């Protein structure tokens, strides 16, 4: 296997991932946009749903018409950071693919949204673009933070995963927890809470990356001592590049706990309560009826992630 090519077939060749903490500039711009966001429109008619999904209903009492507007215009504009394996454009087919793509397509059918218009920006550009009304929703793997909750709304939780610590095979530096990383060079994606964690540990030589695909090859070549990143991404990368001298630290204890704030979600404007509550109702129906479990299994996750 060619270790000089870090991009498995079908994945985008570059672009940052979806992670949980906005870059400082992006958050500031988003807050400014939120401060001038217009008031929600009044509901003019009830949205339609696909009644073939047994017992599926929408919450009552939302005070805007954000879903009916999307249905009327005929398309929902979704933004992603081209984030493999969650929400990305396959380089072979140019089709929008991934775990989140499958979930959102299923919800699209339930909510009778005629078309999805999927656009890509850098990770820290997604929230500002949403607030400026370039996009209707963020359809990428995003986690709750207190800073984000001040300016956007989150959907019902979809699936859980945590971070992992990766090291050279055999773990010669004996890195097991983040505290062990003092005096060592550890890499992760810029703009994430992983970056915040590492930079808060005195003595860690933090190395930030804009492209997640660069990190494990840098570890394999010896330019990094460790990488802190998403378990599903690292596991799939190492499965496709079994010749890389890299392993996941088995006894590392994740700081991303399995509670609602550790689950991936989608993001909507705060004034678009009808659209957000409808997506939440659809994903909750999918979880109850095991449709979410089928999608997770397709992408290599298990019941633990549901």
pLDDT band at 33 (very low <50, low <70, confident <90, very high): low
What's the average model confidence in pLDDT over 52-68? Answer: 88
pLDDT, one tens digit per residue, over 114-158 is 999 999 998 888 999 999 999 999 999 888 888 889 999 999 999
With beta carbons less than 8 A apart as the criterion, state whether 16 and 122 touch: yes
Q: What is the pLDDT of residue 134?
A: 97
Do 30 and 143 share a domain, yes or no? yes
* Residue, of 86 and 37, whose pLDDT is higher: 86
Which pair of tokens denotes residue 151?
Answer: 């300016």
For residue 16, tell me if it sits in a domain.
no
Task: Tell me how far apart the alpha carbons of residues 85 and 161 are, in angstroms, rounded to a whole number.
Answer: 13
pTM of the model: 0.73
Do 100 and 59 share a domain, yes or no? yes
Closest CA to 127 of 84, 80, 83, 159: 80
Strand partners, 247: 167
Q: What is the pLDDT of residue 237?
A: 87
Question: How many domains are there within the chain?
Answer: 2
Parent domain of 139 = 24-160+259-305
Do 83 and 179 share a domain, yes or no? no
Do 181 and 138 share a domain, yes or no? no
Last residue of a domain, one of 226, 248, 270: 248
Q: What is the pLDDT of residue 40?
A: 47
Q: What is the pLDDT of residue 29?
A: 56
Do 273 and 215 share a domain, yes or no? no
To the nearest whole percent, how much of the chain has pLDDT over 90? 62
For residue 11, tell me if it sits in a domain.
no
For residue 204, tell me if it sits in a domain.
yes
Task: Tell me how far apart the alpha carbons of residues 3 and 183 are, in angstroms, rounded to a whole number.
Answer: 27
Do 134 and 235 share a domain, yes or no? no
* Residue, of 81 and 139, whose pLDDT is higher: 139
Do 219 and 118 share a domain, yes or no? no
Beta strands 88-89 and 96-97 are antiparallel
CATH code of residue 145: 3.40.190.10
Do 108 and 238 share a domain, yes or no? no
What's the average model confidence in pLDDT over 50-66? Answer: 88
The answer, yes or no, to whether residue 24 has pLDDT greater than 50, is no
């Amino acid at each position: 296997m060619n270790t000089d090519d870090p991009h498995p077939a079908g994945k985008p060749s570059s672009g940052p991932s979806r992670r949980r903490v906005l870059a400082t500039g992006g958050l500031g711009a988003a807050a400014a946009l939120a401060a001038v966001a217009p008031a929600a429109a009044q509901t003019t008619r009830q949205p339609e749903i696909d009644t073939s999904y047994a017992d599926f209903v929408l919450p009552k009492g939302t005070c805007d018409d954000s879903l009916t507007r999307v249905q009327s215009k005929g398309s929902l504009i979704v933004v992603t950071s081209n984030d493999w394996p969650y929400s990305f454009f396959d380089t072979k087919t140019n089709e929008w693919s991934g775990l989140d793509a499958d979930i959102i397509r299923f919800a699209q059918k339930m909510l009778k949204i005629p078309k999805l218009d999927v656009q890509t920006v850098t990770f820290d550009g997604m929230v500002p673009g949403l607030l400026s009304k370039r996009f209707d929703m963020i359809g990428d793997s995003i986690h709750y933070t207190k800073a984000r909750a001040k300016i956007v709304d989150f959907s019902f939780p979809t699936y859980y995963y945590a971070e992992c610590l990766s090291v050279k095979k055999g773990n010669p530096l004996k890195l097991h927890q983040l505290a062990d990383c003092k005096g060592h060079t550890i890499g992760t994606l810029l703009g994430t809470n992983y970056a915040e964690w590492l930079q808060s540990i005195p003595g860690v030589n933090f190395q930030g990356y804009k492209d997640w695909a660069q990190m494990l090859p840098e570890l394999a070549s010896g330019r990094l001592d460790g990488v802190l990143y998403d378990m599903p991404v690292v596991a799939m990368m190492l499965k496709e590049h079994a010749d890389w001298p890299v392993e996941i630290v088995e006894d590392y204890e994740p700081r991303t706990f399995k509670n609602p704030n550790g689950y991936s979600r989608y993001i909507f404007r705060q004034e678009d309560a009808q659209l957000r509550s409808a997506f939440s109702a659809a994903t909750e129906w999918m979880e109850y009826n095991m449709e979410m479990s089928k999608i997770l299994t397709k992408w290599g996750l298990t019941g633990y992630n549901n």
